[in-house]
Structure 1
């Protein structure tokens, strides 16, 4: 009798995929994000830099369950998204791609949490989260985080109502 053939499953992950990103790669990602903030703060921004910050916000949002012990929250992500949307709207109205000083605090906190996330999560988890970030970015929906949070809260409220019944 022949042994049963093994069905093809997912290939085992290599050590490289189970560990966090190399420090040089983490520094590169962090530097690009922080430089985008500096450029937008200094009235030297453009749409691509705003998009880099937006993806940082989205990555932090989708990784909140992984980074709960940090000072990151849904509200911080929503505030950062509102700041970036306001900047994009000002640019669409003809102003420079720039952030006001009062708008930068939320983005600084996002980038601090984003840096920790990128430095500590395994590469396989970051790749999975990045797929979610791409879905947010490609959705074409204005303020996708606000919409996602509204749906989450609606779902939670429905679950609480069903539990109470």
Structure 2
């Protein structure tokens, strides 16, 4: 027997069930890779860190049980935190070689997600990202760790 919920959900449209449009995936991927290159080359800033934090949290919310490396998310978050801490001390917005490897893994993993995730899952994840990046919000990754 099927349970009915008090709040009826509209059926998803075909567009919501399909993967994101290829041109949107390419634009997002380019934005993410440019942020990575900026940080790698020591030209990071708050906007670049913000972009990479969005990548981190989107990838985290879009993950599934078959992800090869579930520890990637806390490692990537620690890398971005360390980068911000260095910048707060007046050092350059840059990644060390070891940190770069972690963020490259994150961006590549998120590229794979973007190519296959249904649009409705992406939008649901984005809404969660907006909530966890609001002032005073806490990291969902740290809460689990």
Q: Which residue of 1 aligns with 2:20?
A: 21
- Distance change (3 Å), C-alpha of 1:133 and 1:72: farther
Superposed CA offset, 1:21-58 (max 9, x none): 11111011011001100010101111100111111111
- SS of residue paired to 1:138: coil
The TM-score with structure 2 as length reference comes to: 0.87
C-alpha displacement at 1:145, in angstroms?
Answer: 4.0
Match 1:71 to one of 68, 73, 85: 68
Match of 1:40 in 2: 39
Contact 1:47–1:97, Cα closer than 8 Å, also in 2: no
Unaligned runs of 5+ in 1: 1-6, 151-165
Instruction: Name the structure 1 match of 2:143.
Output: 148
Partners of 2:131 and 2:137 within 8 A in 1: no
- CA positional deviation for 1:141: 4.8
* Offset of residue 13 of structure 1: 2.5
Equivalent residues, number = 140
Post-superposition CA distance 1:40-85 (Å, at most 9, x none): 01011111001111111111111222xx334341x11000000000
Higher Cα radius of gyration = 1
Please give the secondary structure, in 2, of the residue aligned with 1:45. Answer: coil
